[in-house]
Amino acid sequence: MKQHICIFGAGSIGCYVGGRMAVAGCTVTLIGRERLRLELMHSGLHLTDLLGADLHVKPDALCFVTGADAVADAELVLVTVKSADTAVAGRVLAKVLKPGTVVISFQNGMGNARLLHEALQQQIVLSGMVQFNVTNRGGGHFHQGSEGALEVEQHPAIEPFIAAFTKAGLPLKQHADMLPVQWAKLLLNLNNPINALSNLPLKTELSQRAFRKCIALAQTEGLRLMESAGIHPAKLTPLPPNWIPWLLKAPTWLFRLLANKMLAIDPLARSSMWEDLEAGRITEVDWLNGEIVRLAEKMGQHAPVNARLIKLIREAEVGGKRHWLGEDLLTELKQATKG
Ligand SMILES: NC(=O)c1ccc[n+]([C@@H]2O[C@H](COP(=O)([O-])OP(=O)(O)OC[C@H]3O[C@@H](n4cnc5c(N)ncnc54)[C@H](OP(=O)(O)O)[C@@H]3O)[C@@H](O)[C@H]2O)c1
């Protein structure tokens, strides 16, 4: 019998991962909003990646619903809502899921899987992590704009699904301990508000040294606090996390020479925080940079750079400045460190 896989929160990540699994022959139900259902019922799904994949799912081959009832007979549920929606997702899923269903949180941030676990005591809830970027280009087109794997917490319950992910071209990388992976991804995600405030594609933003210095400031602050707390982030990139701020601060010619992999990114790709600001949605900044501020508070310390980024994004969410120049943002963040 075919496994039934449900995607709860079909947006950029959900449609891309779920769509690729559907192309690979899996039985997939996408659960999302009516506006996207209507779009996909018209256009189907078009999935591309930076390595040249070009896949289509016709509208009549898609199962996209707006209610959670479909998860009742699912063997696997991938939760891909933004962090602000996790608590609701947990409550909705708790009403319908059968005991023993495997649920993977493929979300950024540190606390989403824990929140789901609290709501889903009879299910197997695992932490996951998406290392690559996906952009919604409209008209049912979702594009993977950077390289990277799908990471997941090691658990025997994952075994029956490994083949499906591999067939979809999204092999799972299992980790005995996901916490170092999540902290390392969090360090990379500290760039999300900077990218959103730059109003530039990621590749253009990273090609400007002033913006890279902003990222380095946010990461250095995060790394210092993690060290004080005894947290050792995993090595997700060719360089260990401690070296990345040095690479970012390098002159652009040297950065280009050394950071080929970091720049192997689609020229149009942007952070999902930029997409949230564009769509007038509340961003995930509290679940990303907010984790650094909370870590500092726990130890009686401060995280002024990340706190300032949160403030600027909060302002941008309600119509504040969204087109920062690199030098201006750098001055703003340096001022924050002077109190
Ligand atoms: N996009 C990326 O490149 C990327 C890369 C790595 C990791 N991530 C992480 O992956 C997670 C998902 O990101 P994303 O960019 O895919 O977000 P997204 O595009 O906003 O997709 C989430 C979708 O879920 C919908 N949703 C929320 N609550 C729902 C509910 N109760 N029932 C049905 N649908 C619901 C949202 O609708 P509304 O907008 O109407 O609420 C939205 O369409 C985030 O934690 C993000 O940080 C993203």
Please choose from 33, 141, 287 the residue to mutate so as to test ligand 1's pocket, defined by most ligand atoms within 8 A of CB: 33
Q: List alpha helices for 199-322, DSSP H.
A: 202-206, 209-228, 244-249, 252-258, 272-279, 289-298, 304-317
Distance 194 CA to ligand 1 centre (A): 20
Number of the ligand 1 atom closest to the C-alpha atom of 14: 16
Segment 81-95 shows an average pLDDT of: 97
CB 84 within 8 A of CB 94: no
- Name the pTM for this structure: 0.96
Distance 325 CA to ligand 1 centre (A): 28
Confidence of residue 1 (pLDDT cuts 50, 70, 90): low
Segment 198-221 shows an average pLDDT of: 97
Segment 49-72 shows an average pLDDT of: 95
Segment 30-49 shows an average pLDDT of: 97
Ligand 1 binding pocket includes 85 (Cβ within 6 Å): yes
Ligand 1 binding pocket includes 272 (Cβ within 6 Å): yes
Reply yes or no on whether the pLDDT at 249 is more than 80.
yes
Confidence of residue 212 (pLDDT cuts 50, 70, 90): very high
In degrees rounded to 5, what are phi and psi of residue 40? -75, -30
Q: In whole angstroms, give the CA distance from residue 308 to residue 123.
A: 39
Q: What is the pLDDT of residue 201?
A: 95
CB 295 within 8 A of CB 190: no
Number of the ligand 1 atom closest to the C-alpha atom of 13: 16
